[in-house]
Amino acid sequence: MMAMVDFRRPAERVPFMGKILVFTDLDGSLLDAESYSFGKALPALRLLREMDIPLLFCSSKTRREIEHYRTLMKNDHPFVTENGGGIFIPRGYFPSVSRPADIPLIQEGMYEVMRLGTDYATLRKVLCELRGLGFAVRGYGDMTVEEVVEVTGLAREEAEMAKDRDFDEPFLYDGPEDGIESLVKAVEEKGLSVTQGEFFHLLGNNDKGKAVSILTDMYGKMFGNVITVGLGDSPNDLPML
């Protein structure tokens, strides 16, 4: 269920019986775009916890990066990594009847994992092929930790976590603006896709929206009626929103 609010009219109290879910991007949304701090969001985080509203991270960040922020925020809900490439669900979070029948859940440590994205080795291979075609592209896999720190502003520890990837290769494009369309076409001819936020991202047939839909359906089976809230700031958030 999607709720639309018309801010041009006086606020109306609308009764709702169901579960509210909040899906949020991290960089530039929950986290400050420059300091990567969530300090200003602390009152909202406390309110969500008090109201028992799940806060679900849905980011281009890696599993290790998101786990880092989950620990800092004491968040124990499912999360989506690398632009919808993976859904990580704490074991026992959902009853068995909530699990989708057509998507395998893989037991990985403390999680049940849905792998929706293309594996990272394949993405790296394609990025190298794009360079062979003359496109000036450079991904995280081509950079040292120090170079990732330089281009992102991340602390060294977080840059190391950002390089530990599964489903998505962020990359820089150093070519002419009118070459982007050709780059996207070349990627699509290889059966993959490109999104653009602060970086370009090379990924498979996955996006944040597909992952959010799967989790929303699982919550719906557990709680009945649900309403979703989405927070994002980049083009790669549009499928989620």
Residues catalogued as catalytic:
25
Q: What distances in angstroms separate CA 190 from CA 49, 124, 195, 208, one per listed residue?
A: 44, 12, 15, 21
Q: How many residues does the chain have?
A: 241
Determine how β-strand 200-203 pairs with β-strand 226-231.
unpaired
231 CB-side CA count, 13 A: 15
End-to-end, the C-alpha distance of the chain in Å comes to 13
**218 — alpha (psi -120 to 50), left (phi > 0) or beta?**
alpha
52 phi, psi to nearest 5 deg: 55, 45
User: How far apart, in whole angstroms, are the C-alpha atoms of residue 25 and residue 65?
Assistant: 13
Please give the distance of CA 156 from its chain centroid, rounded to a whole number.
21
| CB atoms closer than 10 angstroms to residue 97 | 8
